[in-house]
Amino acid sequence: MRADEPVSDEGMGGDILERQPLHWLLLAFLVGFALLLRTETMLVGSFWGLSSNTWFWLSIASAVVHQFYVWFVWRVELHGRLVTRLIGRRWGFGLYALDFSLLLMARFLTIVGLAIANAGTLPWPPPVVYLLAVVLAVPFVYLQYSVLRYFGIRRAMGLDHFEPALRNEPLVREGIFAYIPNAMYAVGFLGLYLPGLLLFSQAALLAAAFQHAYIWVHYYCTELPDMRHIYGVHELRERY
């Protein structure tokens, strides 16, 4: 089947739950590991009437809801074109993109709230913390520029699940993508560490580390299998 041919109602084959049991298992492991690493210091403080503990769980929940939402929309669209058949291609992706953006913003804002609530609990010397913040901020900012300049926000959100024509697009090798494989995952979540560093919050740093580790679960359990369906196994090896 050519990339520009419409997909039948039966979709492209495959299983909507492909690798999702592993996703759930790894999620449980990450939550348990985060609980083991959490200390009493990370429970200190509150913001807007919510305790640090509540903000911590909100940050975890925001990541889980976001990634489950992306998995569901991607899979039902990829394997059955359910979203575009019900809403239409243009409005289907637009609604998904809006939800994606709001959920991604919630991930960051809950970490900000946690960092404010738990501020001042990180015992590291300020020069070390600020230097680390700069080291993380530089590639993070460069990634944002590279996405806007070379990749495109819509494509970064998963437009290739909705637009078959994108399967013929060449692999982006400009900007940060020329230097770092899987830069969206390796670098894109470095910004989540900045609130914890700038406000010296142990709990916010732990929440950021959880979210960063969890996005790799999304890559291995959701995006990578999807890319194999979209591009084919052999072509995927050449492209990625």
pLDDT in tens, 137-182: 999 999 999 999 988 898 889 998 888 777 777 777 888 998 998 8
Residues 163, 165: Cα–Cα separation, whole Å: 5
* pLDDT at position 230 over 60: yes
Instruction: State the amino acid at position 240 in one-letter form.
Output: Y
Mean pLDDT (whole number) for 8-16: 53
Q: Return the exposure string of 171-199: e unless at least 16 CB atoms fall within 10 Å of the residue's CB, then b.
A: ebeebbbeebeebbbbbbbbbbbbbbbbb
> 3-class SS at 124?
coil
What is the rounded distance in angstroms from the CA atom of residue 135 to the CA atom of residue 94?
34
pLDDT (0 to 100) of residue 3? 33
Q: Count of alpha carbons within 13 Å of 202, Cβ hemisphere only?
A: 16
The pLDDT of 33-55, averaged and rounded, is: 96
- DSSP-assigned letters across all residues of 152-179: -HHHHTTGGGT-GGGGGSPPP-SGGGGT
Please give the pLDDT value at position 12.
Answer: 42
* pTM for this model (two decimals): 0.89
The reported pLDDT for the residue numbered 9 is 38
Tell me the C-alpha distance between 207 and 111, whole Å.
7
pLDDT band at residue 14 using 50, 70 and 90 as cut-offs: low
